[in-house]
């Protein structure tokens, strides 16, 4: 950025320019604050509820073995009613990075989580009723099964 050549008129515009700079800085800080708040919300949210202390946690491994489904165990048994954790370890790439659990969202709706290959992350879910629930990769290509009782 090149500075304009100073001349007499600049003296008159110096003060308003300073005010404008302060206003621009304040605006930038406000925008940053909003971005941080939104970022924190997106990180905490994204359809992911917090797991209560003492909640049971169940393991799911994705893509290490194929038994008609890349999800292991092929059928996971969880209790119906309480919030439980699903601890996913992912070896699937592509659309398998994201796993969607329709109807198992803690507040209703779907629960979903993205787990990078080789990583392990825990998602809180809740089966509202006893029964069989299926879960899937983002492209609905792979199916896993959860039986809640």
- Binding stretches for Cu ion (CB under 5 A): 95-96, 137, 139, 141
| 35 touches 109 (CB < 8 A) | no
Q: 52 is written with which tokens? A: 């209560």
Toward Cu ion, which CB reaches closer, 111 or 148? 111
Q: How far is the CB of 139 from Cu ion (least distance, A)?
A: 4
Q: How far is the CB of 69 from Cu ion (least distance, A)?
A: 11
Toward Cu ion, which CB reaches closer, 49 or 117? 117
Q: How far is the CB of 52 from Cu ion (least distance, A)?
A: 30
Please list the residues that pair with 144 across neighbouring strands. 135
Q: How far is the CB of 57 from Cu ion (least distance, A)?
A: 24
Toward Cu ion, which CB reaches closer, 98 or 121? 98
Toward Cu ion, which CB reaches closer, 20 or 64? 64
């Amino acid at each position: 950025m090149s500075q304009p050549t100073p001349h007499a008129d600049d003296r008159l515009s110096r003060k308003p320019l300073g005010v404008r700079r302060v206003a621009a800085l304040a605006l930038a800080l406000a925008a940053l604050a909003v971005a941080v708040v939104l970022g924190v919300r997106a990180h905490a949210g994204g359809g992911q509820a917090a797991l209560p202390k003492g909640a049971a946690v169940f393991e799911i491994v994705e893509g290490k073995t194929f038994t008609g489904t890349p999800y292991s165990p092929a059928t996971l048994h969880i209790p119906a009613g309480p919030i439980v954790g699903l601890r996913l370890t992912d070896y699937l790439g592509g659309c398998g990075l994201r796993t969607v659990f329709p109807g198992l969202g803690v507040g209703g709706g779907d629960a979903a989580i993205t787990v990078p290959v080789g990583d392990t992350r825990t998602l809180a879910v809740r089966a509202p009723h006893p029964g069989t629930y299926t879960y899937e990769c983002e492209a609905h290509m792979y199916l896993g099964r959860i039986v809640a009782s």
